Amino acid sequence: MWVLDVQHESWPIAGTFAISRGSRTIAEVVVATLTDAKSGRRGRGECVPYARYGESVEGVIAAIKAMAPALASGRVDRAALQAAMPAGAARNALDCAFWDLEAKERGRPVWEIAGLDAPRTVVTAETLSLDTPEKMAAAAKAKEGRPLLKLKLGSEGALDRVGAVRAARPDAALIVDANEALPPAELTATLAALADLGVAMVEQPLPAGEDGLLAEIGSPIPLCADESSHTVKDIPRLAALYDMVNVKLDKAGGLTEAIAMAKAAEEAGLKLMVGCMVGTSLAMAPAFLLASRAAYVDLDGPVILAKDREFGLSYSRGHVSPPLPDLWG
């Protein structure tokens, strides 16, 4: 019923992208394409395998290809896919391909089929890669006019970096992403100092699984779960520790789970952040459908790349517009 094609693509990054766990110059993505054997219409989905979660390009491709017989016979549709594959990048690519294909076959946009609000232009954070305070300040200055900057921090020198960026861009809203790296013994003092620097939110200050400490401190800044936040099952625990959750389709395993996760988070009193791995606009497009209900949007993956794919999202001074149907959905 559905013919599967899987491709590995490499997209050069503009310069180097560095976080607390390392740096890279290439974004490695996997694209799954589903073609309806009768109509010939196609749907695409892009995912980014992430080593932090035990994924590799080869492993994700193998997991997607393993679904080919069930897809060809029609035994697995989008609904059945949720149980047939675990959450993660591989399921994300297929789930988003199913959504795109359904939109093409029904002649209706995905947001309408899914019962979501019509997408609109939103502010997206633009990321400052982990570097020296001076280089991060220069990068912030180069993003003059962008209203929201996201700083990647490590285990050392966090306050120096944020202070340098704040001095360079006193007008910008700042959020920071520690990627699990802030020293626990210094956390209370660090959060207080970040508040004094006008930081609006801190993302994943402690390692996933070791963040129970957050229940014991009173943070002056909203805290957002990222590495600790994967699927709906995580929401009850996160609601006791964080103020918001970062919903990423590559962790959730697709738009289907991400929608359910967003609803569960909101019902638990958590605010939403919609985030991404470093990929092309094809990966951003499905996540964009949740952007209008998020407190923070971080869908700047294509901005980090040296070039984006055809019909990519339109970025303008920290604002991003809805995807074209030629791209996805």
- Say which of 143, 150, 152, 251 is annotated catalytic: 152
pLDDT in tens, 284-295: 999 999 999 999
Tell which residue, 111, 123, 143, has the closest CA to residue 320. 123
Region 2-110: CATH code: 3.30.390.10
pLDDT in tens, 256-297: 999 999 999 999 999 999 999 999 999 999 999 999 999 999
Per-residue model confidence (pLDDT) at position 265: 98
- List average pLDDT for each run of 10 residues in the chain, which is 329 residues long: 97 87 90 96 98 96 98 97 98 98 98 97 97 97 97 94 98 96 94 97 95 93 97 98 98 98 98 97 98 97 97 97 96
The architecture that CATH gives domain 122-320 is Alpha-Beta Barrel (3.20)
What are residue 28's phi and psi, to 5 degrees? -100, 120
CA 219, 197, 140, 154 torsion: positive or negative? negative
- Give the N- to C-terminal CA distance of the chain in Å, as an integer: 20
Is 233 annotated as catalytic?
A: no
- Say which of 104, 143, 150, 248 is annotated catalytic: 248
What are residue 48's phi and psi, to 5 degrees? -125, 105
The residue ranges of every structural domain in the chain are: 2-110, 122-320
Return d(Cα 42, Cα 21) in angstroms, integer: 37
Return d(Cα 92, Cα 286) in angstroms, integer: 10
Is 152 annotated as catalytic?
A: yes
How many Cα neighbours within 13 Å face the side chain of 261? Answer: 31
Angle between helices 158-168 and 187-196 (to 10 degrees): 10
Only one residue has tokens 């609803």, namely 263
Per-residue model confidence (pLDDT) at position 273: 98
CA 244, 250, 253, 256 torsion: positive or negative? positive
Burial class (CB in 10 A: 0-12, 13-18, 19+), 301: buried
What are residue 58's phi and psi, to 5 degrees? -65, -40
